[in-house]
Amino acid sequence: MDAFKNLNVRAALLSLVILVLFLTVWEQGNKAPQSDQPMTEYEQLMGGSEPQARVPNPSDIGALAVEELSDPFYDKGPNDKGIGLQLLYSLKRVMLGYLLAALVAIPVGFLIGMSPLMYKALDPFIQVLKPISPLAWMPLALFILKDSEISSVFVIFICSIWPMLVNTAFGVSAVKKDYLNVARTHELNPLRTAFLVVLPAAAPTILTGMRISIGIAWLVIVAAEMLVGGTGIGYYVWNEWNNLDLTSVVFSILMIGVVGMLLDLMLAKATRVVQYVE
Amino acid sequence: MNRKKYFLDAQGLVKQFPAPKGGESLTVFENLNFGINKGEFVCIIGHSGCGKSTIMNILAGLDQASGGVVLMDNKEVAGPSLDRGVVFQNYSLLPWMSCLRNITFAVKSRWPNWSREQVYEHSMKYIEMVGLKGAELRKPSQLSGGMRQRVSIARAFAIEPKLLLLDEPFGALDALTRGMIQEELIKICEQTGQTVFMITHDVDEAILLADRIFLMSNGPNATIAESVVIDIPRHRDREQIIHNPHYYPIRNHLVDFLVKRSKELNDPDTPRVPHSDNARPAYPPEVNPATGQISKLIETETTEGNELTRQVVNLQ
């Protein structure tokens, strides 16, 4: 009875109720049309197929999920790879593009945040480049880089660089003057000032930028892989659509959501590590 | 040669701020001359807006004067230095570091060649001195205001500066905590012979701590009007000091200045010493309210070896 008073317990129970309700309505409202007429010859040849394609039922998706997740890493050629393998391909691209973006965005953001001159000089470029849909870069990337794999990494790079850059610059420029005065009165050299004072002071803002970036990168990789093809979770979704296997499509949509959530959780945890109370 | 040489010597300090959109610039203070001897504890009192914190920042090297020069040990103060430790009003601890780290990074800056153990031991010595042993691994946010200010004081003492600058260090503390830390400060200063320059709003605090108190007239165009000598013998403590016969004359003099004379001195009708290029540093007169004695340092130039001679002249 006491456990029931806990807000978290009650919220979890409510979530469960909503889920069950939603799935029940879906399952019940999406039954195959019943027919009293005997099957036609064509239907018999097709193994009793339905006259109309339908969105799959939760039970079908659940069954597929169990099957797929029990062997997620199998590889039976280019068109038949396990969901885990596809996700790993996507994660590899995201991580590569994201880390490259961090390597560029954080030092450049530091520079912009430290120097009002650089801030003013680079601001117009950032403002114009930031709103460009990352996929708009794809043709140019394919032409210049001549490799679809590298191009998709580039698209991730270009989409995740902006939030990190802008947040780093903001965090660095907003470091309290008191902290900088502490650094000055203790004669810290620029390098020690950067690592002992500015970086820790700006870290929560920088990490927030990194969290926004990883979210955007995970959104963009699906679209990028649909364009580029070959491997990855985006390609998988599109491939299953071409196979008219909607059960797999819905299942992979769910998996995209789960992985995206895990990425966000990781960054949220990292943000908490560098958070400080004034 | 009987030239009186101060350890810290501020000569003709001026601070002006340019007015927005042209117009006349604002002179916060002008013609500021003062000196502090080695081992002396000097407080500066004045109303808000007379530029006390600006003076502090100039001494610390964090701000630049519009005119004049500050000499410490005959060297011009240009930029911040570990020779001058600063304790800010808001403690200025780095909140992501533990108390100990807040001190060790300073110690490491002061003595870059020290080993990790040396830095640790030295820092712990000062943590113990301010009575914070056991709390050294806590973050500043986990400490009370008084404890934070103690860490800040420990940090300033740990780098063993030649001059300690305190900017209203106890302003944000409750009376009880303030009293305790004041006594600790007295104890530490007596042990170390530290030279201290401190801003305060609290007349009683100034009398308790200082050897001399600078009184500032109101801003703008503020200046140091007097240097009040506190001749109450040390060791002082809060309960005994009020029984000293000199205590109330001094206190009344200070309060009278703050309430009445600081305003009058700022009155534009009061004749002002013109500020010219060949103006010699004129230190504020030294006043002893208890004895009624006023003495003034007058500077005369002698032909012998281009040296300046300063004589103490009793006016009363």
- Residue A179 is nearest to which of B94, B106, B110, comparing CB atoms? B94
Which of A221-235, B199-213, B296-310 is predicted least confidently?
A: B296-310
Q: Do A186 and B84 touch (CB under 8 A)?
A: no
Q: What is the CATH number of the domain that holds B237?
A: 3.40.50.300
> Six-digit token pair at B28?
């916060």
Is residue B12 located within the same domain as residue B146? no
Is residue B61 located within the same domain as residue B88? no
Q: What is the pLDDT of residues B58-91, one digit of tens each?
A: 999 999 999 999 999 989 998 999 999 999 888 8
pLDDT number for residue A105: 96
Q: What is the pLDDT of residues B163-189, one digit of tens each?
A: 999 999 888 788 888 888 898 889 888
Is residue B120 located within the same domain as residue B156? yes
Residues of chain B with Cβ-Cβ distance to A188 below 8 Å are 109
Interface A-B, measured as beta-carbon pairs within 8 A, has a size of 57
Q: Do A178 and B95 touch (CB under 8 A)?
A: no
Residues of chain B with Cβ-Cβ distance to A192 below 8 Å are 109
Is residue B203 located within the same domain as residue B60? yes
Nearest alpha-carbon partner for A221 in A120, A129, A125, A152: A152
Residues 6+ away with beta carbon under 8 Å from A148: A142, A228, A229, A230
Residue B184 falls inside a structural domain = no
Task: Find where tokens 């540093």 sit.
Answer: B281
Q: Report residue A34's pLDDT band, with 50, 70 and 90 as the boundaries.
A: low
The number of C-alpha atoms within 13 Å of A99 and in the hemisphere containing its C-beta is 6
Residues 6+ away with beta carbon under 8 Å from A10: A4
Cβ density class B41-63: b for 16+ within 10 Å, e for less: bbbbbbbeebbbbbbbbbbbbbe
Q: What is the pLDDT of residues B19-55, one digit of tens each?
A: 777 777 888 888 888 999 999 999 999 888 788 889 9
Q: Which of B105, B136, B160 is the last residue of a domain?
A: B160
Q: Do A277 and B84 touch (CB under 8 A)?
A: no
- Residue B96 is nearest to which of A185, A187, A276, comparing CB atoms? A276
pLDDT number for residue B269: 61
Residue ranges making up the domain that contains B49: 8-78+162-171+195-315
ipTM computed for the complex: 0.83
pLDDT number for residue B312: 59
- Taking residues A94-106, what's their average pLDDT? 97
Domains of chain A: 58-275 (1.10.3720.10)
Look up residue B201 and give its DSSP letter. Answer: S
Q: What is the pLDDT of residues B112-148, one digit of tens each?
A: 999 999 999 999 999 998 889 999 999 999 999 889 9
Q: Give A239→chain B minimum CA distance, Å.
A: 49
Whole-prediction pTM: 0.83
Which residues of chain A are at the B interface, by a Cβ-Cβ cutoff of 8 Å?
178-179, 181-182, 184-188, 192, 196-197, 200-201, 203, 274, 276-278
The number of C-alpha atoms within 13 Å of A105 and in the hemisphere containing its C-beta is 27
pLDDT number for residue B275: 44
Q: Do B141 and A277 touch (CB under 8 A)?
A: yes
| Chain A residue with minimum CA distance to B82 | A186
Give the range with max mean pLDDT: A75-79, A214-218, B256-260. A214-218
Is residue B116 located within the same domain as residue B166? no
Residue B258 falls inside a structural domain = yes
